[in-house]
Amino acid sequence: MAGEKRFRTSLFGFSKSDVNKYLEKIIKEFNDKIREKQDEIDKLVQEHNDIKEKYDALSMKASQIESDRAKIAEVLITAKEEAEKILAEAKQQALEEKAEIERLTEVEREKLVDAKQEIKALRSEIVSVLKKFEAQLGGLVDEPAEKTDDEIVAI
């Protein structure tokens, strides 16, 4: 045993009081060690519970983050698809508008060519009318010299 305890001897063996005191001392030491170990176990159980609570909280938070990450990824994919769709529609609309502008430009060019031809025709007509008036004026200027002064006054 611990430290080889020697008991005093008595008439029928060892002294009962020495044995009882020794046993009480051993029991007290054993109970103290059990209390220490139980306190240590309680402390470890409490630490275990704290760690488990933290783990559960972190696990929930990780699950929430993963769920949020999945939602964000889905939203980003949807947004990207929508942006690509909008971009494609905008390109198509731009091409259609460009074609319409080119068509309108061609129509306006044709109008311009027609207007230039009209102006050319009007210019030719004006030149011919001016030449005709010039000829008539030239004829009028020549006639008064032949006419008398009374005729000129009458004109």
The answer to whether residue 76 scores a pLDDT higher than 50 is yes
pTM over 0.75: no
Annotated domain spans of the chain: 15-154
Lowest model confidence (mean pLDDT) among 10-19, 25-34, 47-56, 80-89: 10-19
C-alpha to C-alpha distance for 63 and 55, rounded to whole angstroms: 12
Cβ burial, residue 154 (10 Å; 0-12/13-18/19+): exposed
Mean pLDDT throughout 59-83? 96
Task: Give CA separation, 63 vs 53, 66, 69, 71, 131, in Å.
Answer: 15, 5, 10, 12, 99
